Structure 1
């Protein structure tokens, strides 16, 4: 019995399923890595000699798919942004606006007319700041009223999604990797199991017929079949099918609720974030109108705050300097609007409920629509992953023939060397 286990021939045969399992595992892992990495093309003579991950390479198409999926199937722009309550938003913004207007009064006067500001009695300076802070409510009300009237114009949802995906090249990868993390683990592990099973079949055939070509051919078959079967087992069947005592369904569909939760969280935390919404107000299509309203309201606020002292201020400054003072106050208020609106971020998160909405609607999609959410953008390139698996399997098969079964290799090809 000991002689059996110490026989080199026995270990050669045992190595067949072991190598086959490793081929299945390695080819699947490499195929997965090639889906997502590298983010940028690496090689020469692009696109012929080198590689770029399938997802990053097809980023523009996948961005289009993401936009279509979110805006056509999952999020109604009017519904989502209609959840913003103007009165609640005004209550959130009034405090920060009062704070900033008081600071602006002090800053502008000290910048442009420090001597005049210093000569004014403390009570007068405090009264000017108090009046400006009191006008903060009117500034917020004016901005709020216009935002309410132009809600559909306020946010460019498609543009927000595109900007997020273009700005962060790893974000597309993360959408797939985080929503499909269990499926990708399954692909890697299934390669090990399926490869080992194929290897056992290969070993039995080799015992009966040790043709030199069996190892490279089976390596190719294992590399091809493990990748192909793993992809099929993820996406098919869409609906549960009873096979004897087993209930079979594609892994992606079996986890629909969990995938929906991951997708909703990722989009809410990295795409349609409260900060992105604030940036859209500040720098998007509505920005010019917002700034014009703020400048106008600040100019009015300055006039009213200084109304009783206008003759004195106008005489001390001159009309041109007084007009410049109002302009500078408007510019400074516009510059501070990011600080004001930053206080609205928690409100936007509570009111819009992006994560909850996406999770709920993704969970309710039928299997075909759910599959269309992630798969079509790279489905046409799945053959590359299968082909890479086959090529790697073929290479490992040749390695096994040359190194492990060198006697067979030498007997067949020795005359060539």
Structure 2
């Protein structure tokens, strides 16, 4: 330990190095935060030697299934339910929106099926008869759509799996999962990055005093490691704690977890992202038509198509059955249902704008998020930090230690000269 006189001489001789210590510590704090944030999200895929002992994959992409499941649980249990999606859709308006492409599809399907199952009869029939048959089926087409939409709304949970749709989209698109966390928590990540400067600078001032007094070679690396560790740990804690506004230092300042304080802003941003990227009309329609419950939808369509075909056959049904055979008649109805199912994805694209406006999911999500409890709201973002956060803090400490070790060599070099 140096005497006061020795300290004064050393500081005068190496004043620039002493003055640089707080700034170097601030840089350590800042850089370790940037590294920590990048390690949370990058790289998307594992880089290194597998099994993953020598390498890294961003925490969020690596834990994509867990992240997606947590986000989805909050979303589907607290924010939005399948009924919220479909109850706002009017079957009559949907039939109106897709009338033109639907009528074209019906004509193509009718001609195709008739030519396949009764080629001789269909070709021999006058064009006026063909047009009459097509027109009669077209007249019933909007009613088929209305009935199918009514069936879907009455049995929504049997044809639409909201959780499967959300998780599938997030797992398939890991960059999108990253974007949701990054954009919803952009204020928090900015705070983490900038906090490293201020916390690091304060620690650097203490470091300069300790070095002046002790001249111990362990001061620099230990303070560097402490700066990297402590600033990472403190920044993460300050984002979610305390839950309620709390006064500190005798009421000199008040602090509430930053994420919780930005509740209104985060709600609006989160609602916008989910409505624009995940729970979209396109994804919903795709999930209904191609999702794990699509077989049940096909059953609904088949029931409605068979009803219409039988009704339109009328008195001619016995002759149609006689001409093509009973089994072929049933097969023909199934084929019509299959063809309608195939055409639906392209046909339903015409209702996406109407569905977007009618569902108004962005406002629905943002409004319901404001009704969440503090703990439920915290779960929207906290999982991204909780998963393996000790690794991020440890990396910050190691980087800080290494920079501190470099610092001590520089100090000793100048002291020797």
TM tier, shorter chain?
Answer: 0.7 to 0.9
8 Å contact 2:40–2:384 — kept in the other structure?
no
Residue number in structure 1 paired with 2:45: 40
The 3-state SS of whatever aligns with 1:397 is helix
1:44-100 residue CA offsets vs partner (Å, 9 max, x unmatched): 253332222222222232223112211222224445544444444444444442232
Seen in structure 2, the aligned counterparts of structure 1 residues 212 and 76 have a Cα distance that, compared at 3 Å, is same
Quote how far apart the aligned CAs of 1:389 are: 0.8
Quote how far apart the aligned CAs of 1:152 are: 2.9
8 Å contact 2:268–2:366 — kept in the other structure?
yes
Aligned residues: 403
8 Å contact 1:104–1:332 — kept in the other structure?
yes
Seen in structure 2, the aligned counterparts of structure 1 residues 378 and 190 have a Cα distance that, compared at 3 Å, is closer
Residue number in structure 1 paired with 2:347: 340
8 Å contact 1:97–1:140 — kept in the other structure?
no
Match of 1:355 among 340, 343, 362: 362
Show the 5 A alignment for 1:76-91: 76-91=81-96
Match of 1:126 among 131, 134, 150: 131
TM-score by length of 1: 0.84
Match of 1:185 among 182, 190, 201: 190
Seen in structure 2, the aligned counterparts of structure 1 residues 363 and 145 have a Cα distance that, compared at 3 Å, is closer
| Distance (Å, rounded) in 1 between the aligned partners of 2:282 and 2:79 | 21
Residue number in structure 1 paired with 2:226: 221
Quote how far apart the aligned CAs of 1:199 are: 1.8
Match of 1:195 among 182, 190, 200: 200
Indicate the RMSD between aligned Cα atoms, in angstroms. Answer: 3.2
Match of 1:251 among 244, 254, 258: 258
8 Å contact 1:65–1:377 — kept in the other structure?
no
The 3-state SS of whatever aligns with 2:254 is strand
| Distance (Å, rounded) in 2 between the aligned partners of 1:179 and 1:39 | 19
8 Å contact 1:142–1:293 — kept in the other structure?
no
Residue number in structure 1 paired with 2:5: none
Show the 5 A alignment for 1:304-383: 318-319=324-325, 323=329, 326-376=333-383, 378-379=385-386, 381-383=388-390
Match of 1:23 among 28, 34, 58: 28
| Distance (Å, rounded) in 2 between the aligned partners of 1:392 and 1:168 | 32
State whether structure 2 residue 175 is matched by structure 1 residue 170.
Answer: yes
8 Å contact 2:144–2:305 — kept in the other structure?
yes
1:276-335 residue CA offsets vs partner (Å, 9 max, x unmatched): 2112221235422332343454455556667688899889x7548973655544332221
State whether structure 2 residue 274 is matched by structure 1 residue 267.
Answer: yes
Residue number in structure 2 paired with 1:230: 235
| Distance (Å, rounded) in 1 between the aligned partners of 2:338 and 2:240 | 56
Residue number in structure 1 paired with 2:155: 150
| Distance (Å, rounded) in 1 between the aligned partners of 2:131 and 2:241 | 72
8 Å contact 1:61–1:377 — kept in the other structure?
no
Seen in structure 2, the aligned counterparts of structure 1 residues 217 and 310 have a Cα distance that, compared at 3 Å, is closer
Quote how far apart the aligned CAs of 1:398 are: 0.9
Unpaired stretches in structure 1, ≥5 consecutive residues: 1-6, 412-417
The 3-state SS of whatever aligns with 1:43 is strand
The 3-state SS of whatever aligns with 1:50 is strand
Unpaired stretches in structure 2, ≥5 consecutive residues: 1-11
Seen in structure 2, the aligned counterparts of structure 1 residues 45 and 384 have a Cα distance that, compared at 3 Å, is same
